Structure 1
Amino acid sequence: MRTVRKSWTTYTLGVAAMAALLLSTACDSGGTDNGKSPTASGTPGATGSPTPSGTPSASGTDPAGGGGTASPSRSQGGGSTGVAACNDNDLAIDTSGWRQDSGQHLLITATNFTDKACTLYHYPYVRFGTEIGAPFGAAESKPQAVATIGPKEKAYAGVFLFKAGQQTWTATSFSLGYQDRALNSNKDVAPLDIRLSDEVGSLSVGPSPWVTYWNTDLRAVEDFLFRSGKS
C-alpha cells in the first residue's frame, strides 16, 4: 500500500516561517521511505506437480495449495488425496521379458481391474520361490510422480535378476507385496504368491537382484533397466 504524505506550506514571516520549517523537517525525518513507497510482497500462487509423459497415462488428484478447490495433479511421494493405496484386490499381475535379452530382467505389470483409481507407492516387495526373508531392495529409480492408476490403467516395475558369471538358482514363482504412503511400510503384511506367466516359465536368480520403483511410463522403466549402468 502506498503511504499518503502531507506537505507543509513554508511561510515567509520570520519566526513563524522557521517554526514551520523545523516542523516540516521533523515530519519528514519520521517517514519510512523518504518518498519511496514500500513494495508489497505477493503471495505465490500454487503450482501443479509435474505429470510424467509416456503411455499409459495415469490420473489422480492432489491439493493445489493451502486453500480453495483441489485440482488434479500428482506429486512424487505425496500421494493422491482421496485415492487409496493399491492392494491385492485391485490388481491383476502379469510377468514378461524382453526379446534379445539374456533372461537377466523381468517386467512386472500391474493392471487396475476395479472401477476406482488406486496408487502404487514406492516399489513392490518382491521375493522369489519359497523365500521367507526380507524382500530385496530397490534401485534409485524414482519416477516424476507416484503411480496412480485408474480403471484398466497399468503401472510397471522392472527386476534385475543376475549379472553374467554369477551363480544362480531357478525360480518358478514369486511373491508380491505393496507399500502404503510411508516408505518401507507394510513389510509385515503377508505377500501374495504369484505364478510366473507361461511366457516366462522360470527365472534364473542371482545373489543380489533388485527392483525399480513403480512407474506408469514403461519406457522409463526400460531405460533404467538397460541404460542405467546398474545391470
Structure 2
Amino acid sequence: MRTARTSWRTCALGAAALAALLSSAACNPGIADDTKNPTTSTPAATPSTPSTPGTPGATQPGTTQPSAGAGAGSGAGTVACNDNDLSITTSVWRQDSGQHLLITATNFTDKTCTLYHYPYIGFGAVIDGPLAPMGSAPKAIATIGPKEKAYAGLFLYRGSEKTVPVEAVSIGYQDRALNSNKESAMLDVALSKEIGSLNVGTDARVTYWNRDLGAIEDLLFRSGTR
C-alpha cells in the first residue's frame, strides 16, 4: 500500500482532483487487481542465537573440541596436566588393612587440564616404577577445571604376599598418547603423617584417573584385588 500512495502523489502534482484520480489509474494500472491478490510478505529471518560459554557443543577459544564418542584412552581433550598444575595428596581408608592408597590430584591453576590414562607410579629409590595399570579406562577422560579433583587408586599387596616398606610415592603424568612421557623423571610425593609408611608387594598396580571416587573404590574393593 505504501507504494500505491507514493505513486498517486507523484501523478497528482499540478493537476485537478478529477485529473489526479484518472492519472493515478493510468500510472498504476494494477492497483485494483492487487486488492484481490495480495502479495505475501516474506518474514524476516530470525537471528541465530550465538553460543554462550557452557552451552553444549560450543567450542570455546583455546580448547579442543573432543570428537564424538571419545573415551579415556582416545587422547581427545584439553592440554595434559603436569606438576605445575596439580596439588597431590595421599590418603588411606580407615577400615582398610593398608592394602590400598588413594591419590587425589587437585587443579590449583585458573585453567583446565586433563589427566590422561593412568599415573606413572613408583616408590622412590625402593621400588622402581611405573606400576602396571589395573581395570579398564573409564568412558570419560579426567578433565578438571580450577579447584576440581581427579583420583587414582593403588592396590599395594595381597594378604599373604611378602612386602617392602616405603615412605614416599613417585608420580608422573602421561600426555594424550598412551604410554607417553615414560622417560620423564617422576616427582617424589611424601606420604601424609597419618600414613607414615606403606607396605608394597611385587604385584602392586594403579587404576586409571577418574573424577568419580566411587568408581575407584568399586574397582579396588569389589574386583577381587584384596
**TM-score of the superposed pair, with normalisation by structure 1:** 0.67
Q: Distance in 2 between matches of 1:63 and 1:84?
A: 12
Residue 74 of structure 1: how far off its partner (Å):
6.3
Superposed displacement of residue 143, structure 1: 1.1
Aligned to 1:189: 184
Q: CA deviation at 1:116?
A: 0.3
Looking at structure 2, the residues matched to 199 and 144 of structure 1 have their Cα atoms a distance apart, in angstroms, of 33
| Corresponding residue number in structure 1 for 2:74 | 78
From 202, 207, 215, give the equivalent of 1:207: 202
Runs of 4+ residues over 6 Å off in structure 1: none
Residue in structure 2 matching 1:153, options 118, 131, 148: 148
Deviations 1:44-67 (A, max 9, x none): xxxx99xxxxxxxxxx863456xx
How many residues end up aligned between the 2 structures?
A: 166
**Deviation readout 1:198-221 (Å, 9 max, x if unpaired):** 121110111110000000000000
CA distance in 2, matches of 1:179, 1:63: 18
> Secondary structure at 2:189's aligned position in 1?
strand
- In structure 2, the residue matched to 1:226 is 221
More helix by share: 2
| Structure 2 contact 120–172 (Cα < 8 Å) conserved | yes
**TM-score, with length taken from structure 2:** 0.68
Q: In 2, distance between residues paired with 1:198 and 1:191?
A: 21
Say whether residues 1:62 and 2:65 are aligned partners: yes
For the aligned residues, what is the CA RMSD?
2.1
- Aligned counterparts of 1:191 and 1:176: Cα–Cα separation in 2: 5
| Alpha carbons of structure 1 residues 63 and 155: separation in structure 2 relative to 1, 3 Å | closer
CA distance in 1, matches of 2:154, 2:224: 14
The superposition leaves residues 56-106 of structure 1 with CA deviations (integer Å, 9 ceiling, x where unpaired) of xxxx863456xxxxxxx963223444x210000000000000011000000
Question: Quick one: distance in 2 between partners of 1:135 and 1:170?
Answer: 17
Identity percentage over the alignment?
61
1:138 — aligned with what? 133
The 3 A distance-change label for structure 1 pair 206 and 64 is closer
**What's the secondary structure of 1:141's corresponding residue?**
coil
Q: Write the distance in 2 (CA, Å) between the matches of 1:121 and 1:113.
A: 17
Higher CA-based Rg? 2
Of 212, 220, 225, which residue of structure 2 is paired with 1:217?
Answer: 212
* 1:199 alignment partner, SS class: coil
Counterparts in 2 of 1:158 and 1:132: CA distance versus 1, 3 Å:
closer
Distance across 2 between alignment mates of 1:200 and 1:132: 18
Alpha-carbon distance in structure 2 between the residues aligned to 1:130 and 1:122: 24
Unaligned 5+ segments in structure 2 are 1-55, 58-62
Return the offset for 1:174.
1.3
Give the residue type in structure 2 aligned to 1:123: Y
Q: Can you give the 5+ residue segments of structure 1 that lack an aligned partner in the other structure? A: 1-47, 50-59, 66-72
1:129 aligned residue: 124
User: Are 2:93 and 1:90 equivalent residues in the alignment?
Assistant: no
Alpha carbons 1:138, 1:211 under 8 Å: kept: yes
Aligned to 2:24: none
SS class of match (1:226): helix
Structure 1: how far apart are the matches of 2:184 and 2:150? 21
Q: Deviations over 1:134-157 (max 9, x none)?
A: 411001231111100000000000
Q: Is the 8 A contact 1:94 1:108 kept in 2?
A: yes
